Amino acid sequence: MIHSLFLVNSSGDIFLEKHWKSVVSRSVCDYFFEAQERASEPENVPPVIPTPHHYLISVLRHRIYFVAVIQSEVPPLFVIEFLHRVVDTFQDYFGLCTEAAIKDNVVVVYELLEEMLDNGFPLATESNILKELIKPPTILRTVVNTITGSTNVGEQLPTGQLSVVPWRRTGVKYTNNEAYFDVVEEIDAIIDKSGSTITAEIQGVIDACVKLTGMPDLTLSFMNPRLLDDVSFHPCVRFKRWEAERILSFIPPDGNFRLLSYHVSSQNLVAIPVYVKHNITFREGSSQGRFELTLGPKQTMGKAVESVLVSSQLPRGVLNANLNASQGTYTFDPVTKLLTWDVGKINPQKLPSLKGSMSLQAGASKPDENPTIIIQFKIQQMAISGLKVNRLDMYGEKYKPFKGIKYMTKAGKFQVRT
Q: Judged by CB under 8 A, which of 9, 62, 76, 392 binds another protein?
A: 76
CA angle 104, 110, 113 (to 5 degrees): 130
Residue 388 within binding range of another protein, rule CB under 8 A: no
**CA 350 vs CA 80, 327, 345: distances in Å:** 47, 10, 11
Query: Whole-number minimum distance, CB 305 to another protein, in Å?
Result: 21
Q: Using the minimum distance from each CB to another protein, give the nearer residue, 74 or 271.
A: 74
Residue 47 within binding range of another protein, rule CB under 8 A: yes
Q: How many residues appear in the chain?
A: 418
**CA 412 vs CA 186, 203, 204, 232, 367: distances in Å:** 5, 8, 10, 18, 28
Q: Judged by CB under 8 A, which of 11, 37, 73, 350 binds another protein?
A: 73
Can you say how many angstroms the Cα of residue 297 is from the centroid of all Cα atoms in its chain? 26
Residue 50 within binding range of another protein, rule CB under 8 A: yes
Residue 80 within binding range of another protein, rule CB under 8 A: yes
Q: Using the minimum distance from each CB to another protein, give the nearer residue, 96 or 106.
A: 106
| CB-count exposure of residue 365 (10 Å: 0-12, 13-18, 19+) | exposed
Residue 37 within binding range of another protein, rule CB under 8 A: no
Query: Whole-number minimum distance, CB 130 to another protein, in Å?
Result: 13
Q: Judged by CB under 8 A, which of 11, 27, 37, 43 binds another protein?
A: 43
Q: Judged by CB under 8 A, which of 92, 101, 111, 296 binds another protein?
A: 111
Q: Judged by CB under 8 A, which of 101, 215, 271, 276 binds another protein?
A: 215
Residue 380 within binding range of another protein, rule CB under 8 A: no
Please name the residues in contact with 227: beta carbons below 8 A apart, sequence gap of 6 or more: 264, 265, 268, 385, 386, 387
Q: Using the minimum distance from each CB to another protein, give the nearer residue, 236 or 297.
A: 236
Closest C-alpha to 254, from 175, 176, 173, 141: 173
Query: Whole-number minimum distance, CB 232 to another protein, in Å?
Result: 5
* Range 254-313, binding another protein (CB under 8 A): 258, 261, 263, 266, 313
Q: Judged by CB under 8 A, which of 138, 163, 224, 279 binds another protein?
A: 163
Q: Judged by CB under 8 A, which of 78, 174, 180, 275 binds another protein?
A: 78
Residue 368 within binding range of another protein, rule CB under 8 A: yes
Let me know: does 293 contact 358? Beta carbons within 8 Å.
Answer: no
Sheet hosting strand 318-325, strand order edge to edge: 274-282, 288-297, 353-360, 318-325
| DSSP letters spanning 25-46 | PGGGHHHHHHHHHH-SSGGGS-
Let me know: does 277 contact 294? Beta carbons within 8 Å.
Answer: yes
Q: Judged by CB under 8 A, which of 136, 214, 296, 386 binds another protein?
A: 214
* Range 118-147, binding another protein (CB under 8 A): 118-119, 121-123, 125
Residue 201 within binding range of another protein, rule CB under 8 A: yes
Residue 158 within binding range of another protein, rule CB under 8 A: yes
Q: How many residues bind another protein (CB under 8 A)?
A: 110
Beta strand pairing call for 178-191 and 402-417: parallel
